[in-house]
């Protein structure tokens, strides 16, 4: 399964969860429920995955943690905030660059309409089709 196929499953699951639970819960609640939903669909899901930084030939795992790594291909960063800010996208771009992956999803469950809280990020850029449901 490629990154786009995985991303579509993730986005559909996020819509389903947001419909059932609504906005405003803690980020960790959405993380646990989304991981469960994706595993039910046969995807491998890791939570709180360290993304190491290599410096002076040494590996440091303390730098970043991906909320979810799905299918060993797509990094998912979850938020439950009023609005996303540019720093949130930069965080995901940094994670996908450091982990040498191609695609990341930034999902804000704090939005009243989940479609307004989903951003698709490609290693190095924000996808021009920012709405991952396209």
The contacts of residue 109 (CB under 8 Å, 6+ apart) are 14, 17, 18, 21, 23, 24, 25, 27, 30, 78, 79, 80, 117
Is residue 131 pLDDT above 50, yes or no? no
Is residue 118 pLDDT above 80, yes or no? yes
Average pLDDT over residues 5-12: 98
Query: Cα–Cα distance between 39 and 33 in angstroms, integer?
Result: 10
Query: What pLDDT score was predicted for residue 62?
Result: 81
Is residue 103 pLDDT above 60, yes or no? yes
The model carries a pTM of 0.88
Is residue 133 pLDDT above 50, yes or no? no
Return the domain boundaries, the chain.
3-126
Query: Cα–Cα distance between 22 and 18 in angstroms, integer?
Result: 5
Name the CATH topology of 3-126: Trna Endonuclease; Chain: A, domain 1 (3.40.1350)
Could you report the per-residue pLDDT of 20-72, keeping only the tens digit for each? 999 989 999 999 999 999 999 999 999 999 999 888 999 888 878 999 999 99
């Amino acid at each position: 399964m490629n990154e786009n196929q995985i991303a579509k499953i993730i986005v559909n699951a996020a819509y389903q969860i947001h419909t059932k639970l609504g906005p405003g819960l803690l980020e960790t609640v959405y993380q646990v429920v989304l991981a469960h939903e994706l595993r039910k669909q046969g995807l491998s899901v890791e939570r709180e995955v360290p993304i190491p930084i290599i410096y002076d030939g040494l590996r440091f795992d303390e730098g970043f943690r991906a909320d979810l790594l799905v299918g060993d291909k797509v990094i998912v960063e979850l938020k439950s905030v009023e609005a996303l800010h540019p720093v949130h996208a930069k965080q995901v771009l940094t994670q996908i660059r450091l982990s040498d992956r191609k695609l990341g999803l930034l999902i804000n469950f704090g939005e009243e309409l989940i479609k307004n809280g989903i951003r698709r990020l490609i290693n190095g850029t924000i996808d021009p089709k920012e709405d991952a449901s396209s």
